[in-house]
Amino acid sequence: MEVSALQNARYGYMPKLPACLTRPLEEIGLEFGAPTEAAADRDELRALFRHNYGKPIASCVNGKGGTTGRLIRVGVILSGGQAPGGHNVIAGLYDGLKKGNPDSVLYGFLGGPSGLLEDRAVEITGEIIDRYRNTGGFDIIGSGRTKIESPEQFATALETAKKRALDAVVIIGGDDSNTNAALLAEYFIEKGSSVQVIGCPKTIDGDLKNEHIEASFGFDTAVKTYSELIGNIERDAASAGKYWHFIRLMGRSASHIALECALQTRPNVCLVSEEVEAKKMSLDDIVKEICSSIVKRAAGKENFGAALIPEGLIEFIPEMKKLIKELNDLMADYGDELSKITNFIDQQYWLERHLSEESLNLFVSLPPDIARQLLADRDPHGNVQVSRIETEKLLIGMVEKKLDELKRMGAYTGKFNVLAHFFGYEGRCAFPSNFDADYCYSLGFTAFVLIASGLTGYISSVKNLVAPADKWMPGGIPLTMMMNLEKRHGVSKPVIKKALVELEGRPFKTFAASRSEWAEKTCFRFPGAIQYYGPPEICDRPTMTLELEHEQ
Ligand code: FBP
């Protein structure tokens, strides 16, 4: 395979580590805090996680540690959607293991959690890891979305771990995958096994974060990639003066990506799903908000603009949320029956008998393409796959109708030519920014320290991320500390709480303070492409979201 000049240069990039992880291993110790509690539902979670509940937070400190000598065998899994930096987590873990003992072994389970269940793995060698250092993607071992949930699957996972004589399993994933890590850690102890389980916080969506996990990896690179593209589009829009661009941005549920991109690029409109839900905004309210910007700008002869739409929006609009919930339940209960009806008209007849009147009216009022997309296959958690629903096109259709009405009433005299975009996959495998390259390598190395110190049921954590990397603070957070109970298909399940955009938080408030000006005037900001070489203020700066969250 021919390697690009940048890829070649990135092979030579040495990720920055927190100062305490650069010391000889025997000088890296762990300090433990007080016992911890879960985010909510403490009694129930204490009972569910008898062995791991309430463990203390672990912080890496300079001092005598237990991180040397022992030969350790580890299996690593990449789980869920790709996020830039995953290869560096594995590189950090690999380098830590080999530094501890050159005979230590790292297996990579292939294709996500199913690799563990089917015992499909490769041994990661120095030659393999060197081909993936500082590169985007998860192709070193592949990823997948299989959930480990049935008793048989837990037993199979343990069998594989025993067969390969593993000391530990590292799961690199989002909230669901780390919930799986917590359950697996508990199960292994329950079955008398000493196999440790450590998680790592991954997702471009940025919604696996809390007081102790300041950011999930991949968010930084993904938002910088999208912001570059949005800035370029804005400049094109301002140059030609004739197009509105409706840009849908990934983020399955939370709007962190759209919000960060808005802070970076100052578009005319950015919808934030959490606000839409809090204000109980209908589809019509949203359309009016977008039209208000279009009309005001047209009055100033600016018949162009940019509107950002979070992909999760559709599930936060109350009437759509109700419809999607009804459809999800129907597909869970009557999936087989419904899948036999292949014709869309017949599917509609079927739905007439099963949907509530309100949801049916909404369903039939939707453009047929969107209605069809709502009936597409669910993900392994039974959720609609929002990345496949073209919300931007739904809104474009509705905005066009509303503008026609306004024109007839004499309230709008502009021209509306619109182009639709969806940015998602473009950002998930970009070369990790220096921030993500350093952060991921540190997370992987920290995972090694936690394993070498005998911990299980922890997620690797690196804090103080707005400071230069040498001042970052690595450690481990007990997974149970981040959990609560949530209803899934009517059953209470322990899960890691998803972090949605806080409407009282500084990132949203900063955006909200400026958006009416951006809606009317052209205030575009052009962040440009991610820079890998050059001054730290250009190359190493974290996201505005992280900076603003640290200020509060
Ligand atoms: P994770 O939560 O697994 O990190 O994935 C996030 C995401 O990129 C979402 O933003 C998007 O909705 C979804 O994955 C797309 O899934 P798929 O890769 O299966 O198309």
Across 368-396, average pLDDT: 86
Percentage of the chain beyond pLDDT 70 is: 99
Across 385-409, average pLDDT: 93
CA of residue 45 to ligand 1 center, whole Å: 28
3-state secondary structure of 138: coil
Tokens 């999760």 correspond to: 312
pLDDT higher than threshold 70 for residue 531? yes
CA of residue 462 to ligand 1 center, whole Å: 23
State how far the Cα of 266 lies from the Cα of 273, in Å rounded to an integer. Answer: 18
Q: Identify the pLDDT of residue 205.
A: 98
pLDDT higher than threshold 90 for residue 456? yes
Q: Identify the pLDDT of residue 332.
A: 82
pLDDT higher than threshold 80 for residue 380? no
Q: Closest residue (by CA) to atom 7 of ligand 1?
A: 81
The partner residues of 75 in beta bridges, in order of sequence, read 107, 169
Q: Closest residue (by CA) to atom 8 of ligand 1?
A: 81
pLDDT higher than threshold 80 for residue 314? yes
CA of residue 5 to ligand 1 center, whole Å: 29
The per-residue pLDDT for range 287-305, each reduced to its tens digit, is 999 999 999 999 999 999 9
Maximum alpha-carbon separation in the chain: 79
Q: Identify the pLDDT of residue 375.
A: 87
CA of residue 410 to ligand 1 center, whole Å: 44
State CA 259 to chain mean position distance: 14
In which band, very low, low, confident or very high, does the pLDDT at 65 lie, cut at 50, 70 and 90? low
State CA 416 to chain mean position distance: 34
Percentage of the chain beyond pLDDT 90 is: 86
Instruction: Pick the most confident of 28-32, 66-70, 104-108, 209-213.
Output: 104-108
Q: Identify the pLDDT of residue 8.
A: 97
Q: Closest residue (by CA) to atom 6 of ligand 1?
A: 81
pLDDT higher than threshold 70 for residue 308? yes
Pocket of ligand 1 (CB under 6 A): 80-81, 83, 174, 203-205, 250-252, 311, 386-387, 428
Q: Quick check: is 329 catalytic? A: no
State how far the Cα of 179 lies from the Cα of 493, in Å rounded to an integer. Answer: 10
Across 377-390, average pLDDT: 80
Q: How far is CA 106 from CA 71, 75, 77, 121, 130, in A?
A: 11, 6, 11, 10, 14
State how far the Cα of 47 lies from the Cα of 478, in Å rounded to an integer. Answer: 16
Residue type, 394: L
Q: Identify the pLDDT of residue 368.
A: 87
Residue 396 neighbours by CB under 8 Å, 6+ apart: 246, 418, 420
Alpha helices in 266-390 (DSSP H): 273-278, 283-299, 318-340, 344-354, 357-365, 368-374
Mutation pick for ligand 1 pocket among 138, 250, 377, 498 (CB with most ligand atoms within 8 Å): 250
Q: Identify the pLDDT of residue 376.
A: 84
pLDDT higher than threshold 90 for residue 36? yes
Q: Closest residue (by CA) to atom 19 of ligand 1?
A: 81
Across 224-230, average pLDDT: 98
- When the pLDDT of each residue in the chain is averaged and rounded to a whole number, the result is 95
Q: Closest residue (by CA) to atom 5 of ligand 1?
A: 81
CA of residue 145 to ligand 1 center, whole Å: 9
pLDDT higher than threshold 90 for residue 379? no
Contact 455, 444 (CB under 8 A): no
Q: Which domains does the chain have, with CATH numbers?
A: 35-217+432-488 (3.40.50.450), 219-311+389-426+504-549 (3.40.50.460), 323-367+374-384 (no CATH)
